[in-house]
């Protein structure tokens, strides 16, 4: 008896993501992807082009609905992707996250520039392009462990976009990096906080999360597709877990912390990274929400830092010096 034929579906291991800056000149054509496009090794993605079936809800004298009375409503690209990052990846993504096309030092501006980009996703057997996307939010995070992948600095980017197009993957796609482009580990990190009128103090930390939320909202007007992406206000949040000590008890819990912070990733802490590597994140006008430390068991008691960065005069809430 012959074997039954098998049809194998697409598998995630063959996923490839390319990025190009969007065409912003009327009529705003779909970006062209080729060997010079940006290519990223992503950990996962859940980007979708939502589809809602509308209508057909009226009373028809029968228990069933009538399909010919339905229509497809407005659609929008939403979702996120996660990748491990080091200085090379940050050089491309920091301008898009901050809405500022400057070089290092990268920083936010009072006026947000979307800097739209097109994403090509080859999900093994199917390839599509998500057009005119913007960074809705970006989250950097890492955690201490022995042997665990959570040590690596990860960046999760949430996007909003206009539409999806069927596509063909380039015959000659961009190559993966052929030289060392090492990612940051939490062990490369250093956290320094300076209270207003006080001296700078270094704090050890076991995990951290830095979230830049650009507050993007899709605008449709009287169309069945997105016509613009608009920021409704930006929020920058920094959270970390630090040992609960006599010093942190006073400076970060009893006292309402108000000041500045510097989160640095330095190649000098490791012999594996090139000597020129460094990423220094400066957070301005930090103000804390105090969280009471609790003894959850016999282990070390953590103190959770929960702060937001703000604009102060002409000083931006966040800036990054990134060196490769």
pLDDT band at residue 152, thresholds of 50, 70 and 90? very high
pLDDT in tens, 186-218: 999 999 999 999 999 999 999 999 999 999 999
- How confident is the model at residue 7, as a pLDDT? 78
Q: Which domain covers residue 123, as residue numbers?
A: 13-55+71-323
Rounded to the nearest integer, the mean pLDDT of the chain is 94
- How confident is the model at residue 1, as a pLDDT? 55
Phi-psi region at 269: left, alpha or beta (left = phi > 0; alpha = psi -120 to 50): alpha
Among 160, 168, 166, residue whose Cα is nearest residue 225: 160
Among 267, 1, 42, residue whose Cα is nearest residue 155: 42
3-state secondary structure of 255: coil
Residues paired with residue 213 on neighbouring β-strands, in sequence order:
137, 235
pLDDT in tens, 278-299: 999 999 999 999 999 999 999 9
- How confident is the model at residue 268, as a pLDDT? 86
Within a domain: residue 64? no
CA quadruple 248, 253, 258, 262: dihedral sign: positive
pLDDT band at residue 243, thresholds of 50, 70 and 90? very high
CA atoms within 13 A on the CB side of 268: 7
DSSP letters for 18-42: EEEEPP-STT-PPPPP-TTSEEE-E
Q: What value does the mean pLDDT take over residues 157-180?
A: 93
- How confident is the model at residue 275, as a pLDDT? 80
Within a domain: residue 253? yes
> How far is 301 from 294, CA to CA, in rounded Å?
7
Within a domain: residue 146? yes
State yes or no: pLDDT of 272 exceeds 90.
no
Within a domain: residue 4? no
Q: What value does the mean pLDDT take over residues 8-37?
A: 94
Within a domain: residue 195? yes
- How confident is the model at residue 4, as a pLDDT? 67
Within a domain: residue 299? yes
Alpha carbon 245 to chain centroid, angstroms:
32
Within a domain: residue 66? no
pLDDT band at residue 2, thresholds of 50, 70 and 90? low
pLDDT band at residue 6, thresholds of 50, 70 and 90? confident
Burial 287-314 (b: 16+ CB within 10 A, else e): ebeeeebeeeeeeeebbbbebbbbeeee
> How far is 16 from 292, CA to CA, in rounded Å?
44
Q: How many domains are contained in the chain?
A: 1
- How confident is the model at residue 5, as a pLDDT? 67
State yes or no: pLDDT of 250 exceeds 90.
yes
Within a domain: residue 26? yes
């Amino acid at each position: 008896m012959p074997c039954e034929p098998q049809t194998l579906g697409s598998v995630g291991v063959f996923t490839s993501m390319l990025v190009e800056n969007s065409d912003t000149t009327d009529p705003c054509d779909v970006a062209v992807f080729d060997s010079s496009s940006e290519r990223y090794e992503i950990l996962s993605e859940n980007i979708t082009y939502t589809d809602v079936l509308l209508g057909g809800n009226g009373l028809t004298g029968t228990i069933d609905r009538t399909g010919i009375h339905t229509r497809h409503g407005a659609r929008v690209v939403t979702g996120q992707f996660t990748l491990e990052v080091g200085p090379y990846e940050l050089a491309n993504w920091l301008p898009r996250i901050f809405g500022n096309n400057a070089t290092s030092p990268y920083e936010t501006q009072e006026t947000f520039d979307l800097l739209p980009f097109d994403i090509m996703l080859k999900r093994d057997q199917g390839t599509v392009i998500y057009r005119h996307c913007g960074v809705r939010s970006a989250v950097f995070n890492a955690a201490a462990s022995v042997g665990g992948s959570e040590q690596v600095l990860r960046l999760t980017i949430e996007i909003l976009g206009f539409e999806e197009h069927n596509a063909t993957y380039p015959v000659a796609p961009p190559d993966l990096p052929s030289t060392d482009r090492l990612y940051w580990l939490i062990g490369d990190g250093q956290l320094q906080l300076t209270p207003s009128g006080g001296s700078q103090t270094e704090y050890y930390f076991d995990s951290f999360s830095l979230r830049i939320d650009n507050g993007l909202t899709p605008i449709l007007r009287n169309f069945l597709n997105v016509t613009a992406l608009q920021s409704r206000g930006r929020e920058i949040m920094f959270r970390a877990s630090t040992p609960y000590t006599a010093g942190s008890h006073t400076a970060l819990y009893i006292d309402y912390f108000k000041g500045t912070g510097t989160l640095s990733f330095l190649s000098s802490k490791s012999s594996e990274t090139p000597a020129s590597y460094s990423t220094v994140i400066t957070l301005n006008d930090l103000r804390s929400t105090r969280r009471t430390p609790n003894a959850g068991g016999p282990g070390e008691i953590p103190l959770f830092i929960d702060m937001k960065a703000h604009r102060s005069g002409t000083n931006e809430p966040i800036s990054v010096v990134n060196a490769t």
